[in-house]
Structure 1
Amino acid sequence: MIVGGQLVDEPSATSPGTFVSVDNGVPLSATNPAGSGDWTGWSITRSLIDGLPALFARNAATGALY
């Protein structure tokens, strides 16, 4: 998730679709994929490609996809 412009990995709870809390999150990065600032204005989504997880980041202002 993106919290305060920073990308954070938040652990899930035992129930599907629920999370513990942002306080237990692990900061991953304060710099977006373009290297032009923080994660404000970006969205993250995921998919499975050949059964393996893939993450995608999209810049809402430009539409750039990483």
Structure 2
Amino acid sequence: MIDETIMDKIIPLPDEDEAMEEIREELEGEGFIITNFSKGGVFYTLVRIMVFVYRQILVLARDIVNNCFMK
């Protein structure tokens, strides 16, 4: 098993709110047509689902890497 501090360096887990803000800023910077990023909006929900799935994939990757090694 790998220590959590080392796992954070290998595969960092982004905060969901920070990832949402980063995506919103990047889309606005690129001139994305949809500008309603408020809670309850369809596009907000889709982006939130994408961020959640991405974070869960990272958690799975961390578990796989962590289980490959034994102390």
Per the TM superposition, whether the score is higher than 0.5 is no
Give 1 or 2: higher strand fraction: 1
TM (normalized to structure 2)? 0.21
Name which structure has the greater RCO, CA cutoff 8 Å, separation 6+. Answer: 2
